[in-house]
Structure 1
Amino acid sequence: MQILVTGGAGYIGSHVVKQLLEATDHDVCILDNLSTGHLETVETLESIAREANRGALRFYKMDLADFKAVAKLFMTERFDAVLHFAASSLVAESVANPLKYYMNNTVNTTHLVSRCVEAGIGKFIFSSTAAVYGEPREVPVKEMTPTDPINPYGMSKLMSERVIRDTSAVKEDFDYVILRYFNVSGADVTASNGTPRIGEWHEPETHLIPLVVKTALGKRDSITVYGEDYDTEDGTCIRDYLHVEDLAAAHLRALEYLGAPVEQSDGPNIFNVGYGHGFSVKQVIETMKQVSGADFTVDKGQRRAGDPALLIADNSRIKSGLKWQARYDDLALICQTALEWERSLND
């Protein structure tokens, strides 16, 4: 197949592209405006494509908001499937600038779906988020748990989901899989020399594990724990930390599922992606201290609004529906690969 990957120069999209190049014969076309993705990542993926010598890789620097350019691309290229990662994803920014999120996430997704329908592309995989649940009423969180986003980022993703589902309901040849991610972390584990070739590379960085990595490497003075009075064993928030390689593999399983859906799941093709258990903020910090050998400063802060004590996925549906199995469910490995990736950025 020929597969379009929007946002393929970013963190999660690049790991999916890497696995497509290494494990399949599909040709991959990356569309990315490089607002948060990196040209260096594309160059690394081009190198991986040459080494794998299986499918071809092409890159278009393009913004999904440029509707004319996107329409032209769909006229000149013949795609069999679209994997859609391109989006804005900072919660705080979404609160401060909601229109950016509704335009970049929801409107651009709507236009992309429209292009797919017009071009007869029947396989669409969407990068969604656990943020659609807001502060969930049950844990572990099931796909049928009520959705109630508490910020524009989560709402923009939920609205995009609705566009995809409503379109599929009236277009029989438009099939989809929506994957709702929990806390994605870690970096490439398949490099022969042990140093990740791609990884998490955001500016500004807002996620816990890369922030702790930066602290362990002396790039930050300290890490702050926001709240130690939650109803958990050590008083800090617990999250379902998922290795990015396992998340990427879920997309390849989704692509296979859409290609030969022998046993369709009951209900919509929406799947949580997580391990079904979690680790606390303090556990992450202690694990990073162990793998890095660094003893860094940990500050105490007040709770942040909207931080639930516990956020864990019920992953039974993706395991049964997509036959997905985790390979890297190991907090130490997640921390180690994130650490080695951050070190490589100094080389």
Structure 2
Amino acid sequence: MFETILEDATRAGDLRSVSLRYFNPIGADPELRTGPSTPEPSHALGRLISSWRAGRPFTITGTDWPTPDGSGIRDYVHVWDLARAHVAALERFDDVAPESEPYRVFNIGTGKGVTVRELVSAFDRVVGEHVDVVDGPPRPGDSAGVYTRSMRAEQELGWRAERTREDGIRDSLAWAERLPALLRFESR
């Protein structure tokens, strides 16, 4: 809806804009200056970390999708790569959103679909142990999956994802360790 509003606004006046579409951000600033601040995350990697830290099985929601292993497919892109995409869009703004085409959309992602089970396997490799999983029903509104085609971002913005899902998991874990102290500090 917001993209429709932006596009309408660019057609109505002198505004130019670029929309960056991305789906499943993971990770944190590699230098741990910032990251997700939700103590009980609802996204897959956040729930996986919470389950692992609590010593309880991780629930994979939806396991009978028409995917290679039945779990949903997502495009997990590192937040640091997303930050770089925003910088690239700003640096090349005049080239990618000229007055003749004042509204542009770029998909930002790895371009590779990763199933939730594959995410769990990557997590196992990073933490060096097996995380137990249980199968659960899909959440309302879930779909078999989605991942990006980011060729336009590479061609026009000079951007492509560089960090791996393992990088995202490592940075997420490091941030999750730091977050409780930060939340206690902020509540003072």
Report the TM range for the smaller structure's normalisation: 0.7 to 0.9
TM-score relative to the length of structure 2: 0.85
Moved over 2 A (4+): 262-268, 293-297, 303-306
Q: Which residue does 1:183 correspond to in 2?
A: 24
The TM-score, its normalising length taken from structure 1, stands at: 0.48
**Structure 2: 5+ residue runs without aligned partners?**
182-188
State whether residues 224 and 301 of structure 1, in contact with CA within 8 Å, keep that contact through their aligned partners in structure 2. yes
Cα distance change on mapping 1:289 and 1:262 into 2, 3 Å: closer
1:336 Cα deviation after fit: 0.8
Deviation at 1:337, TM superposition (A): 0.8
CA 1:263–1:199 in structure 2 vs 1: closer, same or farther (change >3 Å)? closer
Is this contact kept in 1: 2:64–2:71, CA < 8 A? yes
Amino acid at match of 1:202: T
The DSSP-based 3-state class of the residue aligned with 1:311 is coil
Instruction: Give the drift of 1:283.
Output: 1.0
RMSD: 2.2
TM-superposed CA distance for 1:345, in Å, is 2.3
Q: 1:293 to 1:241 in 2, by over 3 A?
A: same
Q: Name which of 207, 211, 231 aligns with 2:47.
A: 211
Q: What is the aligned length?
A: 180
Give the 3 Å change call, closer, same or farther, for CA 346–203 of structure 1 in structure 2.
closer
Shift of 1:321: 2.2
Distance 2:154 2:67 in 1: 27
Shift of 1:203: 4.5
| Greater relative contact order (CA < 8 Å, ≥ 6 in sequence) | 2
Summarize the alignment of residues 162-241 of structure 1 with structure 2, pairs less than 5 Å apart. Answer: 162-172=4-14, 174-189=15-30, 191=31, 196-218=32-54, 221-241=56-76
In structure 1, the partner of 2:185 is none
Report % sequence identity.
Answer: 32
Q: In the alignment, is the contact (CA less than 8 A) between 1:182 and 1:272 conserved in 2?
A: no
Structure 1 portions without partners, runs of 5+: 1-157
Counterparts of 1:1-347 in structure 2 under 5 Å? Answer: 158=1, 160-172=2-14, 174-189=15-30, 191=31, 196-218=32-54, 221-258=56-93, 260-261=94-95, 268-328=103-163, 330-347=164-181
